[in-house]
Structure 1
Amino acid sequence: MEEKEVQEVKPVRSKGRPKGGHNRPGTKKTGRKLGRSRIEKLPAEAVLDYKYKILDVINRGLARTISEAARKVGVTPVQAYNWADNDIEFKEAIRQVREVIADELEEKLRNHANFIPLMFILKGYRPMFRDNYKIDIASSKLEELLGELKNLSERDISIEQPSQVVDAEVVEIPMVTK
């Protein structure tokens, strides 16, 4: 009988993450290659041009968000949001354009029979349409009333037994309890 030669079988390496990838240049510790994480530095004239284009696209109704408008004009949404964070005038212009969009949506909402989808969109634009909307009351009249209430509490006036002055006579008002 012939003896067959036995070949050594090597284990097949999985196609997952390569071993030792964190030691190679250009990769993070996870072993994944770095993408284009750096945003190109554009000249000031080009940035200004892109800002006008973004505002124009949103104003004409071709896009409803800054991200969508940025993609349509050829810049990343991150760049557009960075410009909005760093440029007060651009941020204010975006706020004004969003107000115009919100006005249009509110008008459609009032004239449309099926308003539920528009209501969801409008909640993103106007805080007063949100479910958790709270009004911050800060007025001088309120401050004055709170001050008077504090003064009354300091004088130790009892609210449990109120009395009323009628014709210079003290009349006891009974408390109604349920």
Structure 2
Amino acid sequence: MLNKITTFIKYLLGKSSELKDLETKDALLAKVVLDIHRKRTHSEFISVPLFALKQIHAIDRENAVAATNERVEKLKAVKQALLQHKHFSQAVLAEYLPSVSAIKVVKQSDNSYVAYEGNGRLVALQQVFSPDDLITIEVEEYKFKNPHKILKRMAKVRTLNGLDDKHQGGS
């Protein structure tokens, strides 16, 4: 448990430039992330359609918007080459959108996943590619014995961020 708390504190410190702007939605998101890591039974890497992924929070802070815009420009420059892949593995994602972690998700339904880590990368990918491109992406799915409470809290975070089940991508 101490290791999980230490990891969470390091995560928060990495977001320190955003700490002064924390709101209720951010506190709930932090609680959701802690609960996911505390209550998961295991995780596994799976491939899902890019547009089966939903962001948990809006990209609405200055540094997050800037980072997402940089990612969009980088992806646009290599879009045609990336379209040849059709499947973006962790290796492909790391090459073009480097990060310390995978895009981490919780399954909401048969073809719907909510990303709680990697939202900026997800938004950039969904801005550059379209559903017609039929891109699949490798993500880390977190599994639970009973995901109902986690999913309910994730839905609340999405609502507080102005996102609903019909809204994907964008900010």
Q: TM-score, normalised by structure 2?
A: 0.24
Structure of greater relative contact order (alpha carbons < 8 Å, 6+ residues apart):
2
- Structure ranking higher in strand proportion: 2
User: Computing the radius of gyration over CA atoms, which structure comes out larger, 1 or 2?
Assistant: 1
Q: TM-score, normalised by structure 1?
A: 0.23
